[in-house]
A and B are shown apart, each in its own frame.
Chain A
Amino acid sequence: DTAVSQTPKYLVTQMGNDKSIKCEQNLGHDTMYWYKQDSKKFLKIMFSYNNKELIINETVPNRFSPKSPDKAHLNLHINSLELGDSAVYFCASRNNRGTGELFFGEGSRLTVL
């Protein structure tokens, strides 16, 4: 009964490949996010969706494309992977009517070789 779950947890791939990370939340939250944590542990927002609608799109290369088929799912597809994409990607969700707390997934560690 994990609240926010991401798959895969680990992903190792070659430069130039395309990969996807999936996220699902069973909390009934309206808003979902993707955050990137780099090797220095900096945590930076990438995207946010509210009820399947994109509301935040930070300065992220267009090789990154989020998709939200329904409000419980937010997937991240990355084209033409580069070395600099190596990071831990965190999915999170939030109840808009609640306390503002973000609930995070366990993270997906992407390594690009």
Chain B
Amino acid sequence: AQRVTQPEKLLSVFKGAPVELKCNYSYSGSPELFWYVQYSRQRLQLLLRHISRESIKGFTADLNKGETSFHLKKPFAQEEDSAMYYCALGFTGGGNKLTFGTGTQLKVEL
């Protein structure tokens, strides 16, 4: 079965420190991986997807098929990065379904 694991429920870092939010997935085919973010009192929105290989708000994520990981990284955390981050897995034949991880709450402290 398809599964997404985010081992950290809460990650607390100081402003300016590097951030890494972990995500591992379980799927034997060709996955589509996404990171979604939910800022306080706002709707979930797409942060980035592995296909586009882009950097958004300083965040990057590389798909590592060998380790089945899609960790989210940022070299220097900002206060406005504090939010809930969800890793999500889409897959062929999944009926357009996205399976979400349990989420990691990132707290950036001054």
A75 to B84, CA, bound (A): 26
Q: B64 within 8 Å of A by Cβ?
A: no
Assuming A43-B100, A105-B43, what are 18 further A-B pairs, CB within 8 angstroms?
Answer: A41-B84, A41-B102, A42-B100, A42-B103, A43-B44, A43-B86, A45-B97, A45-B98, A45-B100, A48-B97, A56-B97, A96-B96, A100-B98, A101-B34, A102-B36, A102-B44, A104-B45, A107-B43
Name A80-113 residues within 8 Å CB distance of B.
90, 92, 94, 96, 99-102, 104-107
- Chain B residues with Cβ below 8 Å from A99 are 49, 51-52
Per the CB 8 Å criterion, the residue count for chain B at the interface is 23
Total A-B pairs in contact (CB under 8 Å)? 57
- Chain B residues with Cβ below 8 Å from A105 are 43
Query: Do most interface residues of chain A lie in helix, strand or loop, or is the interface mixed?
Result: strand
Chain A residues in the interface with B (C-beta under 8 A): 4, 31, 35, 40-45, 48, 50, 55-56, 90, 92, 94, 96, 99-102, 104-107
Query: Do most interface residues of chain B lie in helix, strand or loop, or is the interface mixed?
Result: strand
A53 to B102, CA, bound (A): 28
- Chain B residues with Cβ below 8 Å from A102 are 36, 44, 46, 98
Contact with A along B40-63 (1 / 0, CB 8 A): 001111100101100000000000
